[in-house]
Amino acid sequence: MAVEVGQRAPDFALKDQHGVLVRLSGLRGRTVMLVFYPFSFSPVCHGELTAIRDELAGCLPPDVQVLAVSVDSMFCQRAWADQEGFSFPLLSDFWPHGEVARAYGVFDEDRGLALRGTFIIDRDGVVRWKVVNPIGTAREIDEYRKALAEL
């Protein structure tokens, strides 16, 4: 079942590319931009995350946290983050495979991957904006800016 705007965001605890456990509820009091993507090292995902790195992350207020999530292993996330210079957490939804993506309604059961879903979660843990794009369609950075500005 998909998470909708106005609902409380499902809590989760996933390891980032350094093996550090990140718990959504531990970020209460901050705005979270939760970005699900299919796979590290894939072309569209590369374009999206480098755009977040180059055009968005450095301009965000300090109370906004970007979290990127895929079903790749923590080790794959680390290799990709090191190669690309991603400083925001890349979270591994590897095992149980896709459990967090499934909780947000953005897991493709047939292909075993996360869809391109983004959820902006307010300081109280409520989803205030979301977008889900087809696998081959990148999300627009300007949409993120507009949604974050409205909070």
Summarize the confidence of residues 32-47 as an average pLDDT. 96
Strands 116-121, 127-133: pairing is antiparallel
Tell me, what's the pLDDT at 132? 97
The residue ranges of every structural domain in the chain are: 13-149
21-35 exposure pattern, b = at least 16 Cβ within 10 A, e = fewer? ebebeebeeebbbbb
Which of 9, 24, 34, 45 is catalytic? The answer is 45
Residue 53 binned pLDDT confidence (cut-offs 50, 70, 90) = very high
Residue 76 known to be catalytic: no
Summarize the confidence of residues 114-121 as an average pLDDT. 98
Residue 139 binned pLDDT confidence (cut-offs 50, 70, 90) = very high
Residue 54 binned pLDDT confidence (cut-offs 50, 70, 90) = very high
Tell me, what's the pLDDT at 60? 93
CATH number of 13-149: 3.40.30.10
Model confidence, pTM: 0.97
Q: Say if residue 83's pLDDT is above 90.
A: yes
Count the neighbouring beta carbons within 10 Å of the beta carbon of residue 147: 16
Tell me, what's the pLDDT at 1? 76
> Are the CB atoms for 73 and 92 separated by under 8 Å?
yes
> Are the CB atoms for 14 and 69 separated by under 8 Å?
yes
Tell me, what's the pLDDT at 96? 96
Q: Say if residue 116's pLDDT is above 90.
A: yes
**Helix (H) or strand (E) run with residue 145 in it:** helix 141-149
Q: Say if residue 63's pLDDT is above 90.
A: yes
Tell me how far CA of residue 43 lies from CA of 13, 24, 59, 97, 100, in angstroms. 27, 28, 24, 22, 23
Tell me, what's the pLDDT at 75? 97
Instruction: Considering only CA atoms, give the Rg of the chain.
Output: 14
Render pLDDT for 103-114 as a digit per residue (tens, 0 to 9): 999 999 999 999
Tokens encoding 14: 């996933």
